Amino acid sequence: MRIYLLKTPEFSEEQFQNVYNFLKTFKGPLKFSKINLDFDKEKFPFLFYPYINTDYKSDGKKGNFKQEIGTILRWKEIFSLSTYYRDTVKINKNDFVIVLTDRRNELNWFSKFDEKRNIFVHTSDWDAFTNANPKYPIAYQIVENVMQFLMKLESQSPYNPYIHFQPTGCMNDFCQNKQEVILKLQNANICETCIAKIRHENIDDKIVQQVFKIFDGVRNELVYKNRTIEQNADIKLAITVTKKNEIFIGNLEIRLTPLRKTLYLFFLENKLINNHGILFNDLGDFKIELMNIYRKLAVEGEMDILKTRINALVNPVEDRFSQEKSRINSIISDTLGKNIAKDYILSGGRNEPSKINISNDLIKFQQ
Ligand SMILES: [Zn+2]
């Protein structure tokens, strides 16, 4: 399956090349081609002259034009470019044609696909949200739209059960702003509901694997290299513990083993009672509390085994606690990026109380 990349004239050739170079490093059934197509001024005047009128009608109910955000391309104008390429070159109808454009579009969407495998991705304004090169979010959006087409998310509307208006960290989260998109990219995930839909539509496993590799590649750039900008440090995300004891920070799930989750939940619950944190040496006083949480979370194991593990955790001779604490903290940092993570990790050095620093009003237990 070939994915042809086109660009509108103002999108820089250098960045166009960057996006292509990144995508083509991931081998699999999705083959990317960079097309250097000079659009004709006569045929496509809206690409060259501001405020020009075209015969393309804006999609009535969606056409909220806003002068203050500049010259806006209509969705139909953008898709006319991919249709033009498709018709001129007579490509296979199963192939995708992507238009990359810095120009804003009528509803200011970040990307969109149509019913004929045409896609556009808005390429500008990413700098304010991440220090990572915008080629990564752009590449993600290309692949996201290909997947959404293949899994038949025909309409990107609120009535589609696979579009999540409550963010879940899934590819199909409907993001209202680019900051939310960045968090989605950092999560690099497709939720179980959407994976079931992918299976239902019989999408080639190799495509799914390739897509996950690309998502991981994007995530590595955004999270592990910690290039999220300082501005992110000011964002205060709520910690939510669901009825099923899943831990979400913002919309990102922090996935921990039952024992680590026990520790984290214990510190979270304890913080609401005592905001000073707990010294490791005092942790042994809380064996019953720890055990009560662990029993709810552990999927298997006799009581004796669970007790042994909790005893080992609080035992000052063994060093289980500091090992588990540092693993929990690195998982949180990997998920959120270091800047944001610092208020959510278990802080405190070896002889200091361990505590989670986020303010209590941002902690929510959904039970
Ligand atoms: Zn989903």
pLDDT, tens digit, 9 for 90 and up, residues 276-307: 899 988 899 999 999 999 998 987 777 888 89
Give yes or no: residues 207 and 85 share one domain.
Answer: yes
Cβ atoms of 197 and 216 closer than 8 Å: no
Helices (H) and strands (E) in the chain, counts: 11, 13
Cβ atoms of 86 and 5 closer than 8 Å: no
Q: Is residue 57 part of a domain?
A: yes
Centre of ligand 1 from the C-alpha of residue 250, in Å: 16
Task: Give the residue numbers spanning the domain of 168.
Answer: 2-228
Give the CATH number for residue 87: 3.40.390.10
pLDDT at 337: 79
Give yes or no: residues 178 and 62 share one domain.
Answer: yes
Give yes or no: residues 119 and 253 share one domain.
Answer: no
Name the domain boundary from 200, 228, 256.
228
Please state the φ and ψ torsions of residue 223, each to the nearest 5 degrees. Answer: -105, -60
Secondary structure (DSSP) of 273-329: H-TT-B-GGGGGGGHHHHHHHHHHH-SS--HHHHHHHHHHHH-SSS-HHHHHHHHHH
Sheet holding 31-34, edge to edge: 31-34, 2-7, 96-101, 118-122, 111-113
Give yes or no: residues 254 and 224 share one domain.
Answer: no
Contacts for 353 with CB less than 8 Å, ≥ 6 apart: 276, 277, 278, 279
Give yes or no: residues 101 and 174 share one domain.
Answer: yes
pLDDT at 57: 55
Name the domain boundary from 228, 257, 284.
228
Centre of ligand 1 from the C-alpha of residue 157, in Å: 14
Centre of ligand 1 from the C-alpha of residue 253, in Å: 13
**Whether the predicted model's global pTM rises above the 0.75 cut:** no
Q: Where are the beta strands (DSSP E) in the chain?
A: 2-7, 31-34, 72-73, 96-101, 104-105, 111-113, 118-122, 239-241, 247-249, 252-254, 346-347, 355-356, 363-365
Q: Is residue 234 part of a domain?
A: no
Residue 89, both tokens: 């070159």
Q: Is residue 274 part of a domain?
A: yes
Give yes or no: residues 67 and 119 share one domain.
Answer: yes
Q: Is residue 295 part of a domain?
A: yes
pLDDT at 226: 46
Q: Is residue 233 part of a domain?
A: no
**CB burial readout 74-105, b (16+ within 10 A) else e:** bbbbbbbbbebbbeeeebeeeebbbbbbebbb
- Rg over alpha carbons for the chain, rounded to the nearest Å, is 24
Q: How far apart are CA 65 and CA 58, in angstroms?
A: 9
Centre of ligand 1 from the C-alpha of residue 161, in Å: 9
Q: Is residue 21 part of a domain?
A: yes
Centre of ligand 1 from the C-alpha of residue 189, in Å: 8
Centre of ligand 1 from the C-alpha of residue 317, in Å: 45
pLDDT at 229: 41
Give yes or no: residues 189 and 329 share one domain.
Answer: no
Centre of ligand 1 from the C-alpha of residue 258, in Å: 24
Give yes or no: residues 202 and 348 share one domain.
Answer: no
Give yes or no: residues 305 and 358 share one domain.
Answer: yes
Centre of ligand 1 from the C-alpha of residue 85, in Å: 32
Centre of ligand 1 from the C-alpha of residue 237, in Å: 21
Give yes or no: residues 64 and 169 share one domain.
Answer: yes
Note residues around ion ligand 1 (Cβ under 5 angstroms).
170, 172, 191, 194
Please state the φ and ψ torsions of residue 299, each to the nearest 5 degrees. Answer: -80, -25
Q: Which residues of the chain have pLDDT under 50?
A: 60-69, 225-232
Give yes or no: residues 86 and 175 share one domain.
Answer: yes
Q: How far apart are CA 112 and CA 118, in angstroms?
A: 8
Centre of ligand 1 from the C-alpha of residue 68, in Å: 34
Q: Is residue 334 part of a domain?
A: yes
Name the domain boundary from 199, 228, 257.
228
- The count of structural domains within the chain is 2
Give yes or no: residues 89 and 185 share one domain.
Answer: yes
Tens digits of per-residue pLDDT, 26-72? 999 999 999 999 999 889 988 887 655 555 555 544 444 444 445 67
Centre of ligand 1 from the C-alpha of residue 192, in Å: 7
